[in-house]
Amino acid sequence: MTTPTKEGSAAVQARRVLVLNSGSSSVKYQLLDMDDRSRLAIGLVERIGEDTSRLLHTPLTGGGAGTRERTGRIADHEAALKAAAEELAADGLGLDSPELAAIGHRVVHGGLRFTEPTVITDEVLAEIERLVPVAPLHNPANIIGIRTARALRPDLPQVAVFDTAFHTTMPEYAARYAIDVETADAHRIRRYGFHGTSHAYVSRKAAELLGRTAEEVNVIVLHLGNGASASAVAGGRCVETSMGLTPLEGLVMGTRSGDIDPAVTFHLKRVAGMSVDEIDVLLNKRSGLVGLCGDNDMREIRRRIEEGDERAALAFDIYVHRLKKYIGAYSAVLGRVDAVVFTAGVGENSAPVREAAIAGLEGFGLAVDAGLNAVRSGEPRLISPDYARVAVAVVPTDEELEIAGQTFALVERLGRTEQPGQAEPLGQVDN
């Protein structure tokens, strides 16, 4: 789209956002057009630093040319981003395009400081680095992604969208652990919560599905992917969430234990002789569904249950029992619940999990209609019968769209979508 500038020449209204999600060994990217919120291209670079690196790039314009694949060692994140940029350029969607308004970065931990999407300055980046001790697995990779993208397009607004931000509205009594206050504060130990962009997006979409505004409804969101978390959202604001200082707390997950008596860790050290690092790996990587039955994919677990596998059945029951406890607890926290909403890989796809989690909760006004629950769809939908007092819904999450939307809203607010000839330098934007 073009509009006349004051000088009379045509300036491009930049309305595209590149979303980057940099993990320790992978980079996922999506280019979105914010005019119609469509995807122009999506891609993934995985196994960065190994000989078997792979880039998969799918352009979604020009009649579906199909996925292109590159194999062979991609040494580091810088090489990964450069390769992705080349693929985008080959489709006429290069990072130098005047239509690109901003790059939105998923950043896992924003601590207490970042409650909103934030334009990345040197000072903001330094603050994200200061949070590494509380997010040692995630923030370093996010930081590398940011540095690389800034080097490629130093003039372009780059925005950090934080997984923790949506949860910063939690009241102090929900966010604090009941441990010595001085010790907690000295080490920034408190409950931060994660998956925030998903909880924000899904709770808003659920309100739309109910034909109400986000301010009018109280919802419980169950984000059940490989990582899993629940949140209680009152009038659009998060008041409770199940993940804590790290993503380890809360629900049973694919490979994480979720809630556990902290004394188990002392026991593993003192009695089982495990090191702290070994316990970390045990609880984060070898627990949850995989620890209980050897599989973390819900499809495989259901298949085994159909064949009469008892370990898989027990793992499923433990998973569902924890979900029920959270639904009950968050119903009490909210007082009035308008909807329980399932999302992410398991929540969107596993009818048996949804059915089992809601079974027996009629006293809470909750019920699932078997016919509606069996429908497979990529659309937000209700699965509760008409008579149910509380709606039960499935709402597919879209973290990339939420990151793009938040990024674009911020650069628009700052008047940064007209390229070139921006009015003022970005400076220290701190929000």
Number of residues that this document lists for the chain: 431
Query: Is residue 344 part of the contact set for ligand ADP (CB under 6 A)?
Result: yes
Tokens standing for residue 147: 């540095």
Instruction: Report the C-alpha gap between 145 and 272 in whole angstroms.
Output: 39
Does residue 61 touch ligand ADP according to CB under 6 A?
no
Q: Where are the alpha helices (DSSP H) in 103-195?
A: 122-130, 139-152, 172-175, 181-186
What residues does 228 pair with on adjacent strands?
224
Nearer to ligand ADP, 16 or 223 (CB): 223
Mask 185-224, x = binds ligand ADP (CB under 6 A)?
A: ----------------------------------------
Of residues 158 and 229, the one with the C-beta less far from ligand ADP? 229
Q: Work out the burial of residue 310: count CB atoms within 10 Å of its CB; fewer than 13 is exposed, 13-18 middle, 19 or more buried.
A: exposed
**SS3 (DSSP) at 107:** strand
Query: Is 33 part of the annotated catalytic residue set?
Result: no
Q: Omega before 380 cis (within 30°)?
A: no
- Burial string for 153-185 (b: 16+ CB within 10 Å, else e) reads beebbbbbbbbbbbbbebeeebbeeeeeeeeee
Q: Does 291 bind ligand ADP (CB under 6 A)?
A: no
Among 35, 96, 163, 430, which one carries the catalytic annotation? Answer: 163
Alpha helices in 271-398 (DSSP H): 276-285, 288-293, 298-306, 310-334, 344-349, 351-358, 370-374
Cβ distance to ligand ADP smaller for residue 95 or 141: 141
* Residue 401 burial (CB count, 10 A): 19
**Window of 6-14, 105-113, 175-183, 293-301 that interacts with ligand ADP by CB under 6 A:** 293-301
Among 350, 373, 407, 417, binds ligand ADP (CB under 6 A): 350
Q: How far is the CB of 418 from ligand ADP (least distance, A)?
A: 35
- Which range, of 65-73, 149-157, 306-314, 340-348, touches ligand ADP by CB under 6 A? 340-348
Indicate the residue among 110 and 254 with the shorter CB distance to ligand ADP.
254
The residue within the footprint of ligand ADP, chosen from 45, 298, 391, 403 (CB under 6 A), is 298
The closest of 27, 2, 36 to 405, measured between CA atoms, is: 36
Size of the site for ligand ADP (CB under 6 A): 13
The dihedral over CA atoms of 223, 214, 430, 38, expressed in degrees to the nearest 10, equals 70
Radius of gyration of the chain from its Cα atoms, rounded to whole angstroms: 22
Q: Which stretch binds ligand ADP (CB under 6 A): 51-59, 173-181, 265-273, 346-354?
A: 346-354
Q: Which of 26, 169, 349, 419 binds ligand ADP (CB under 6 A)?
A: 349
- The yes or no reply on residue 284 touching ligand ADP (CB under 6 A) is no
Binding flag, residue 297, ligand ADP (CB under 6 A): yes
Q: Does 346 bind ligand ADP (CB under 6 A)?
A: yes
Per-residue contact string for residues 232-261; x = within reach of ligand ADP by CB under 6 A: ----------------------x-------
Q: Binding to ligand ADP by residue 14, rule CB under 6 A? A: no
- The helix-helix angle for 310-334 and 351-358 (nearest 10°) equals 60
**What phi-psi label fits residue 195: left (phi over 0), alpha (psi between -120 and 50 degrees) or beta?**
left
359 CB-near residues (< 8 Å, 6+ apart): 368
Q: Does 280 bind ligand ADP (CB under 6 A)?
A: no
Q: Which residue is nearest to ligand ADP (CB)?
A: 345
Binding status of residue 225 toward ligand ADP by CB under 6 A: yes
Q: How far is the CB of 380 from ligand ADP (least distance, A)?
A: 16
Based on the shown chain and the rule CB under 6 A, indicate whether residue 42 belongs to the binding site for ligand ADP: no
φ/ψ (deg, to 5) at 198: -70, -45
Q: Does 345 bind ligand ADP (CB under 6 A)?
A: yes
In the complex, minimum distance from the CB of residue 104 to ligand ADP, in angstroms, rounded to a whole number: 18
Binding stretches for ligand ADP (CB under 6 A): 225-227, 254, 296-299, 344-346, 349-350
Q: Which residues are catalytic?
A: 163
